[in-house]
Structure formats: C-alpha cells, structure tokens
Homo-oligomer: A and B are copies of this chain.
C-alpha cells in the first residue's frame, strides 16, 4: 500500500488509535484528534524527516502540536512511527505514564510542552530561527495549530516574526474544524478569514480540504518548496471526522466517545500500519567561533548600573562561549542587550515589543541547545508569564533579565516599575531568582546563569550603584554574602536596598547599634542555613510589593523553626507615582533612613521586651 491509499488508511488508523487511547481513562480529546488525522497521516508518511532513535539528531525535523490537546493524535503518530508500542499508547493519561494529557518533553520526541493554546507556534518560530540563523541546516518545523487558538494575540506575534525573519523552514497547519471548546469559533469555516490575515502578515497561504489526502500532499509539497516566506496551510476539516455520532457535532470537545467500539468499527477497525519514517540527511550544525576574552571588571566604588553590567558581561560571555545568544523586546538600549547585539550581531534577535514571542523564541532556541538570554523591562516580563510557566513544564533552560525594577526607576511612573517580578518568578517550578547589587556581582552571576538548568531570572537596576565587591569575588547560586558583621539586628536585602542598608548600618553604628548586613543576591534558591543561624531580629527591605518577594522568601526559610527572631519586612505598600528615585525610595520607607528607623525600633522593642 502506498500513496493516497496508504495515507487514507493511516488517517483512519490515527483516528482509531486516538479513540482507543482516550477510552482508557475516558478522558481526552478524540474529536480534536480526528479532524487533523489526515493532515498528519500525509505528513508522517511522506514529509517528516525524523530519526526516532535519535531525538537529538540535529538534522531532525520538528513536529510541534500547538493544539496540544490533540495529544492522542500525536501519540498515535508515535505508534505509527514505531516509536512506542500499542501497549504504551493505552497508558494515555494514566498516573505515571509519560503519555500525559498534553504533550511534555517527558517524551523524548516532544520539544516543548503545549496545552496552553497559542504557544506552539511562537515556540516553533524560535526553533525555526535556530535552524535558519544559528544551526544553518535545513530541518523543517511543522506546527499543527487549532482554529480556536488563532484568537490568541501570541499567534499573531508569531506570524509577524516568522515573516519578518523569512522563516521558510516553518509550516503552520491550521486545523479549521470550526469548533472550540464551548461552541463555534469566531470565523467558523471561513478559511479566507485566516488566510487573509496570514497573507497580510506576509505568509504564503494555501487553503485546502483537510480530508483530501491528495490536496494535503500537494500543499505540503508547495510549503516545502517555498522560499523566503513561511507557509500556512488552512485546512477545512470536520471535528470528529469519520464517526457519525460525533462528526461535526457541537458538545464533543474534550470528551471520550460514548461508544468507542462502534466508532472503531465505523472507521474500519484497528490497523497496524507502521511507517518507516525517513531519517534526515546527516548535517552538522553551524558553530560560532568563541574568540575568548575576559569578563569585564569594575573598580570598587565606581558607579555602574547593574543593567549596564549585564550588557557588558553578556557581550563578554558571548566571546567566551559560541553557544550564547541574546534576544530583547525593543528596549536593548535600556537593558543594554545592545552591547551584545553590537558584538555578536549574528547571535542577536530583535523581538520588538512582543514579550510573549520574546520568551517563546528563547524556549525554541534552547530546544536546539543554544543558550538564550532574553531581556526586557522587568515589568513587562509579566506579559509573558504564561509562557514562562509553560517553559518550566517544557523543562526549558532559559535565562531572563528584567531591568528597571522597582520604584527606583523614578519619573516614568508605576507602569514601568516592576514590583511583582520576584513573586512571579519565584512561583515558577525549579526557577532561579537572582538580584545582584553591583556590577562585578552581576557579571559573575551572568556567567553562572549560562549553566543553570530551568528558568533563571536576573533582576537589574536602572540607576547606577557603587561597586561593592572586588572583581575576584565569586558568588555561588544559593549562597549569600555577609557584608557587615553585627549582632544587634540583621538587615537582609539585595539589589538596590543593599546600598541603602549599608548607609543605614553606618547611621545605626552611631547610635551604638551593631547591624549585620546580609546580601541575599540569590533569592531562590535561598541560603537557608545562614538565615536560620541568625539570632538577632531581622529587617528585610525590598523595592517590591510586600507579597511573594524577598521578605516572604526569608520568612519561608525560617517558618518551621521552633524559635526564630522577629522579622520586620519593609516593602512598597502604596501605589507609587512619578518622582525622583530618592524621593520614591524615601516615600516607600525603603531608603537608608527608613531601614535605620525600622531597625532602631526593632532593637528598642527587643530591649524593652527582655
């Protein structure tokens, strides 16, 4: 059996297997799988070039299900490719199975976790960028999209960037089955509505009947031959295609079929076609030469913004390591990612004001083992929170840098002040959250970030701050630094408030109060040992809302101890506004005066209580 006959049979097999997989726990999305089965059958049988024995073969194509809920179809493809057994297919959604409700990289052939709609295509853009601009080898990215998810703005960020970067190695396939979860989509079967939008965004577009295997074949051929432009195949399909009980009927999203046995019979019964998926031609990815060089250093007392140190250090790191790449969301002259851009233009990607695509591209680049650093204002990382959350599920190693944190940015006002970034990034599984206070510390942490697994985040500052540490000091992730000894009160902080704390300690010394100052530059993981060893009262201060930041991190380290000193937490409590940085820090009570006053009161209270 070959050609159209094979494709049709394979399509039926994928439907049958999707229904069977879902029947196991009676949970999953069979009808969303059935609509795209013919599209995927032709892809698997003729176009996909993939070495299932070597998922890390750099020449492999990438198959990304942006409509992650069609996981039964994806797993049925793996079975048809001989990659998993029928037995394993029937563990779908069972506790402990790697065949989860939505695809995750717990499966070796899955690049990125999907299931939050509108993300697979932006991730695909990242992988395609890697292929075109970094690896420079001709693998293709095939991305299956749902019609419902076209309502997500992130899809249009992806359309915009894919066209701008001329990603002709990327094909998006929109499975227009007309139904979302709760009913019809905005555009139903108006294929033109999708194609016209995509065309306006600069894509090559093809409209087809998604159940006509010859038309599908022709469309994939056309997409693969396309030069200079990405292609979108807009396919008219029927949700639940092939089974009368559910075909093109509303109310069947995410539901197991009531009568799977009858449905399987209607589809012609089980099949066991195995496709010998062709392996890609061997190809060696391009490597950028590392010219070597040294990290920048700064002299003690010099005034340098940590954001500037980030840019300098990242550019230097790019010279030392050829695998480091950088991306920025149209603020590279503020984050100082522009220093990297100017030093390594071939490894820099301008993502414009599209933070979702910024983070998604970083995730896509690391799929191909590049080491991405993505930067924007810390406040605007909040725009990409769902992508960061999903990146953790993707087991992605990405590095984020948020500049302009806190009220210390001054006149621009609250819209540009990140006051929730520490809370947001701490609450990401396996994340690392760093908040350096000076330039040398920043540079050292940037170097370490390149080797951190998972999501790491560096918070940098707009204003220049004095260099506190010599260039030879090292800063372990998960440690802290005691920068001043004292046993009357401990002041725990990081970043900007570090400097204010040191000034406060000087003032307190004049009152005879010996203040210990701890630099908690690694907010997650946290130096619990040092914190738990403290016996004097603690004052924390942070340029952040009181919730979820440094103060609560300190409390969390002490929480289950039987005896522990009181912790007074200073933070930003009222909505800030425009003003000079010093005015705003004073208003929030997190400048040296505020910190000293809190410490003084705490020490007095302790004395009067004892």
Contacts and interface: CB of A to CB of B under 8 A. Distances in A.
Given A116-B415, A180-B353, A412-B102, A560 B552 contact: no
Residue from A181, A197, A355, A427 whose CB has the most chain B CB atoms within 10 Å? A427
B181 A413 contact: no
A157 B153 contact: yes
B389 A180 contact: no
A151 B427 contact: no
Interface in A543-591: 545-549, 551-553, 555-556, 559-564, 566-569, 575, 577-580, 583-584
Interface stretch (A39-47, A56-64, A89-97): A89-97
A100 B411 CA distance: 7
A212 to B, nearest CB: 26
A101 B413 contact: yes
Contact of A352 (B151, B201, B330): B151
B153 A354 contact: yes
B95 A583 contact: yes
A152 interface: yes
A548 B552 contact: yes
Contact of A412 (B101, B182, B419): B101
Given A93-B578, A101-B413, A180 B427 contact: no
A414 B102 CA distance: 8
A411 B353 contact: no
Contacts of A148: 330, 352-353
A568 B560 contact: yes
Residue from A94, A100, A152, A566 whose CB has the most chain B CB atoms within 10 Å? A152
Contacts of A379: 116, 386, 389
Contacts of A552: 547-548, 552, 555-556
A427 B186 CA distance: 34
Nearest to A575: B429
B411 A182 contact: no
A197 B568 CA distance: 53
A154 interface: yes
A385 B547 CA distance: 15
Nearest to A149: B353
A428 B545 CA distance: 8
B180 A352 contact: yes
Contacts of A578: 93-95, 97, 100-101
Nearest to A610: B562
B330 A180 contact: yes
A153 B152 contact: yes
A330 B547 contact: no
Contact of A416 (B115, B559, B562): B115
Interface string A140-154: 000000001101111
A8 interface: no
Interface in A376-402: 379-380, 382-383, 385-386, 389-390, 392-393
Given A382-B386, A420-B428, A182 B559 contact: no
Contact of A524 (B97, B547, B575): B547
B547 A556 contact: yes
A102 to B, nearest CB: 5
Contacts of A584: 95
Contacts of A564: 564
Contacts of A116: 379-380, 383, 415-416
A330 B118 CA distance: 13
Contacts of A424: 385, 420, 423-424, 427
Given A153-B152, A559-B566, A182 B338 contact: yes
Contacts of A446: none
Interface in A284-321: none
Nearest to A196: B200
A532 interface: no
Contacts of A156: 153, 156
A334 B181 contact: yes
Interface string A366-383: 000000000000011011
B151 A157 contact: yes
A155 interface: yes
A560 B569 contact: yes
Contacts of A566: 559-562
A118 to B, nearest CB: 7
Interface string A78-93: 0000000000000001
28 contacts: A25-B411, A93-B411, A93-B413, A93-B579, A95-B583, A101-B413, A113-B414, A114-B415, A116-B415, A116-B416, A148-B353, A149-B353, A151-B157, A151-B160, A153-B157, A180-B330, A181-B330, A182-B338, A424-B424, A426-B547, A427-B547, A524-B547, A546-B556, A547-B548, A552-B552, A559-B567, A560-B569, A563-B563
Given A100-B577, A380-B386, A427-B548, 12 more contacts: A94-B579, A97-B578, A104-B414, A116-B379, A152-B153, A181-B330, A385-B385, A420-B424, A559-B568, A559-B569, A560-B568, A564-B564
In the A-B complex, the 5 residue pairs with the smallest Cβ-Cβ separation, listed nearest first, are A153-B153, A115-B415, A95-B579, A548-B548, A423-B427
Interface of A: 25, 27-28, 68, 93-97, 100-102, 104, 106, 113-118, 148-149, 151-157, 160, 164, 180-182, 185-186, 196-197, 199-201, 330-334, 338, 352-357, 379-380, 382-383, 385-386, 389-390, 392-393, 410-416, 419-420, 423-424, 426-430, 524, 545-549, 551-553, 555-556, 559-564, 566-569, 575, 577-580, 583-584, 606, 609
